[in-house]
Structure formats: structure tokens, C-alpha cells
């Protein structure tokens, strides 16, 4: 078939016009985004291995206590936007999470007449962490909550590698708030590019910590208070607002559930800890060396994490493991680590009710009026409490 004269040129010009139009649209969207960012007098970017959602919430609450109108975004157990008045709404998603959510988040902040933005970092790849910071948030204050073993397949096998990856979100010329443990791991290139603010969790008194109605880590509160101080919020006002705030959905909780014969199931919900280091910290803090049973809820898309958690848990726990989610893979991991088959119980349902029934039937202490401790680890996604 022969094309009419000039058809090829017309087709080329049409494609060129589409391409130029697409570039123009991208340029317009970039300018609009930068204009919205400029209307936020304070921008905070929270990164780290664990605790990002909790710290983001604490910072937003502290800023509200100081007269700011902060708009916050958390992407932990449940992705939510937090309005300047503290009300929350779920982030609508079609498909998997995408960093373009940050563009919509800034737009929503503008619509809510916010004057501050507090965002939890949602990127894993080092390059995307840097892109989110330098192109989409451009924060005045950055936070790295901690550096622990997780997502090694993306960030690197060792803690210095993970620290270098997380530091890609540090604000250029802004302030970066960290604990001494994190500061010791950061590369010099990161600390030279910003003003490092190292805070000591020991400065938080037991009385201040006791003022929270929910479980909090001293490190997280101290980091959040430092951000609020840099923003000009008095410590007392920020702390009072934090103590009155709502915890994240995945916040650690210790629940007492009744057992049929007058006993009690002490359920230590550490499902949101995820990584081995955080899991061990919570184990030693809330289980005090021993538990009657461990629930491990595994995700099929986080098998490296499951392997690492199994390696840590077999050292901590010598009793029964109840397995849900990707239970076949978790069973295989534990068997390879020498755990006998009679200590492994696969659950038909990933629910607290299902594991409670199994504990009631299989744990001798559950047949009396005593207390049975169940420590839950792994991942919250897909597990029904």
C-alpha cells in the first residue's frame, strides 16, 4: 500500500505535537507543584527503618500544639492523610502505592489551607528516596528515626549501607534530626550537606513518657520534640499535644484477653515491628525473656524478611510457633533452623480468634486460671485482630 504524498510528514508532525504537548503538561504540573510547595512555610520529611508513621503523627500533633496548621501523610499499616485539625481520612489508591501520591498530598495540603507538611518517606530504592526529597518535598527538616536490618535487597546488606540509603532523603542545607546511634552510621557526604541535630532520648523523663496513654518509644518522642523545637514550638506545648494525639493503627499494644477457665491471654501485638532488630527490642521489653507461644504472620512478598525474622526468633523462643499468612514458607524456614515439627502449628485462618483457640487447646497454662503470653511478630498486613 502506497501512502499519499506528505502522509509521512503529517504523521511525524502529529507525533511531535503529542510529544511536545506531553512535555508541556509535565512542565506545567511541575510549576504548579513547586508553587504549592512554596505556600508551605514548613516541610518535614520523615525516613528510617521503623517508626516513621508514629514519628510523623507525633510531629504533626506537636506542631498543632504550637499553632501550626500541619497536613500529614502516613503510609504505615494504614495509609492516611491527617488534616490540620487532626481528623484522618484514608488515602484512595488504585493499585500499588506510588510516589506520585506525594504530588496529590501537596495538593490536598493546599486545599486544606495548611501551612506545614509532614510526610513519611514512602520510597525504598535510594534513588527514589532522593527524588522524593529533592523534587517532591524539598524539606526544611529531615528525620531518620533509626537504621536497622530490613529491605537489604534494596538498601544493602550492612547497617552503613542502609544508613547511606536512608540519608538520600536528607534536606540539602536543612536540618537533619537523628539519634546518636544513627549519627554514627551516616556517611560524611550526608552530614556535610545539612545541619545535623543529634538528640539524646535520655533527656526525656520517665514522667513525660508516662503521660502517654499509648505505647511510645522515647527515641520517637525525642526526635519529634526536636523537630518542633526547630519549628519554634515550646517543648511543653508540643509534648502536651503529642500526649493527647492518636497512635498509629499499627502501634504496639499489649492486650489482656479472657480465657474460658478464668485465665488471661496476654497478647503482645508487635506485628508492625517487621524487622528482626525491632522485633527483638520489643521482645526484651514486653516479654521479659520468655513467652508461652509466638505467632509469626508471614507475607509472601517479603520472604527475605521472613527468613531473617525466623533466624532471630529461634534464638529468642524455644516454645511453640503459630504460623499464618505465608505459613508454608515460614514452616520450611523454621524446620531448616532445627525447629521440630511438633513445635510448629499452621493456622487455617490469619485471625486473632484462630490463634487464641489454638493456644487455648494446646497450652497447659490456658486450662487454668493463669496467664498465657502470646508474642505476635512478622507483619500486620492480612492479619485480622
What is the pLDDT at residue 93? 81
Surface-to-core class of residue 207, CB atoms within 10 Å of its CB (0-12 exposed, 13-18 middle, 19+ buried): exposed
Q: Crossing angle for the helix pair 7-38 and 101-111, nearest 10 degrees?
A: 50
pLDDT in the model for residue 14: 65
The C-alpha cell at 171 is 534536606
**Sheet containing 344-346, strands listed edge to edge, beginning at the edge strand earlier in sequence:** 253-258, 264-269, 371-378, 293-298, 320-325, 344-346
Residue the block writes with cell 538498601: 155
Domains and CATH numbers, the chain: 32-243 (3.40.1190.10), 253-378 (3.90.190.20)
Residues 77/123, Cβ–Cβ less than 8 Å: no
Q: What separation in angstroms does the CA of 294 have from each of 196, 244, 309?
A: 40, 32, 12
Please, which residues bridge with residue 385 across strands?
none
Rounded CA gap, 289 and 41, in Å?
47
**Per-residue model confidence (pLDDT) at position 381:** 86
Provide the CA 72 distance to its chain's centre, in angstroms.
Answer: 14
Name which of 81, 185, 86, 169 is nearest 124 in CA terms: 169
Cα–Cα distance between 74 and 157 in angstroms, integer? 26
CB distance 370 to 263 below 8 Å: yes
The pLDDT score that the predictor gives to residue 21 is: 61
Residues belonging to the chain: 385
CB atoms near residue 261 (< 10 Å): 11
Query: Strand 80-82 and strand 88-90: pairing?
Result: antiparallel
Helix axes 52-65, 218-230, angle to 10 degrees: 40
Task: Spell out the residues 6+ positions from residue 238 whose beta carbon is closer than 8 angstroms to its own.
Answer: 61, 62, 63, 65, 66, 224, 225, 228, 229
The three-state secondary structure class of 256 is strand
What is the rounded CA–CA span in Å between residue 164 and residue 184? Answer: 11
Report whether 204 contacts 218 (CB < 8 A).
yes
> Residue 367 has what pLDDT?
67
> Angle at the Cα of 301 (from 295 to 307), degrees rounded to 5?
55
**How many other C-beta atoms lie within 10 A of the C-beta of residue 328?**
12
Q: Print pLDDT tens along the chain (385 aa).
A: 455 656 666 666 667 566 666 555 555 577 898 999 999 999 999 999 999 999 999 999 999 999 999 999 998 778 999 999 999 999 988 777 778 899 999 999 999 999 999 999 989 999 999 999 999 999 999 999 999 999 899 999 999 999 999 999 999 999 999 999 999 999 998 889 899 999 999 999 999 999 999 999 999 999 999 999 999 999 999 999 999 999 988 788 899 988 877 788 999 999 988 899 999 999 999 987 678 899 999 999 989 999 999 999 999 999 999 999 999 999 999 999 999 999 999 999 999 999 999 988 888 776 677 789 999 999 988 898 8
Question: What cell numbers appear for 264 in the block?
Answer: 488471661
Distance CA 171, CA 117 (A): 14
Strand partners, 325: 298
Determine the pLDDT at residue 116. Answer: 98
Question: What sign does the dihedral 57-61-63-69 (CA atoms) show?
Answer: positive
Amino acid at each position: 500500500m502506497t501512502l499519499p504524498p506528505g502522509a509521512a510528514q503529517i504523521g511525524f508532525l502529529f507525533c511531535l505535537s503529542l510529544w511536545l504537548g506531553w512535555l508541556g503538561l509535565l512542565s506545567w504540573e511541575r510549576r504548579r507543584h513547586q508553587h504549592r510547595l512554596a505556600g508551605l512555610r514548613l516541610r518535614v520529611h520523615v525516613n528510617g527503618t521503623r517508626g516513621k508513621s508514629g514519628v510523623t503523627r507525633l510531629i504533626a500533633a506537636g506542631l498543632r500544639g504550637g499553632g501550626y496548621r500541619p497536613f500529614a501523610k502516613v503510609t504505615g499499616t494504614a495509609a492516611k492523610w491527617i488534616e490540620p485539625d487532626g481528623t484522618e481520612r484514608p488515602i484512595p489508591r488504585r493499585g500499588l502505592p506510588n510516589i506520585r501520591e506525594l504530588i496529590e498530598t501537596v495538593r490536598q495540603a493546599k486545599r486544606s489551607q495548611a501551612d506545614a507538611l509532614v510526610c513519611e518517606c514512602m520510597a525504598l530504592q535510594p534513588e527514589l528516596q532522593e527524588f522524593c526529597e529533592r523534587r517532591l518535598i524539598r524539606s526544611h527538616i529531615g528525620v531518620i528515626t533509626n537504621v536497622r536490618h530490613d529491605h537489604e535487597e534494596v538498601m544493602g546488606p550492612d547497617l552503613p549501607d542502609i544508613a547511606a540509603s536512608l540519608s538520600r532523603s536528607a534536606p540539602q542545607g536543612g536540618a537533619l534530626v537523628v539519634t546518636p546511634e544513627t549519627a554514627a552510621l551516616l556517611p560524611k557526604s550526608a552530614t556535610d550537606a545539612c545541619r545535623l541535630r543529634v538528640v539524646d532520648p535520655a533527656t526525656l523523663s520517665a514522667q513525660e513518657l508516662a503521660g502517654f496513654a499509648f505505647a511510645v518509644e522515647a527515641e520517637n518522642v525525642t526526635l519529634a520534640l526536636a523537630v518542633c523545637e526547630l519549628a519554634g514550638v515550646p517543648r511543653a506545648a508540643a509534648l502536651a499535644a503529642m500526649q493527647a494525639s492518636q497512635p498509629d493503627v499499627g502501634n504496639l499494644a499489649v492486650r489482656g484477653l479472657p480465657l474460658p477457665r478464668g485465665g488471661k491471654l496476654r497478647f503482645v501485638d508487635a506485628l508492625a515491628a517487621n524487622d528482626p532488630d525491632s522485633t527483638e527490642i520489643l521482645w526484651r521489653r514486653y516479654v521479659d525473656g520468655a513467652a508461652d507461644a509466638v505467632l509469626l504472620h508471614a507475607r509472601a512478598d517479603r520472604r527475605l524478611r521472613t527468613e531473617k525474622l525466623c533466624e532471630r526468633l529461634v534464638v529468642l523462643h524455644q516454645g511453640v510457633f503459630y504460623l499464618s499468612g505465608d505459613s508454608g514458607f515460614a514452616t520450611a524456614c523454621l524446620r531448616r533452623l532445627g525447629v521440630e515439627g511438633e513445635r510448629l502449628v499452621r493456622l487455617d485462618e490469619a485471625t486473632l480468634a484462630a490463634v487464641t483457640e489454638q493456644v487455648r487447646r494446646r497450652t497447659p497454662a490456658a486450662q487454668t486460671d493463669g496467664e498465657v503470653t502470646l508474642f505476635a511478630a512478622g507483619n500486620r498486613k492480612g492479619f485480622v485482630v
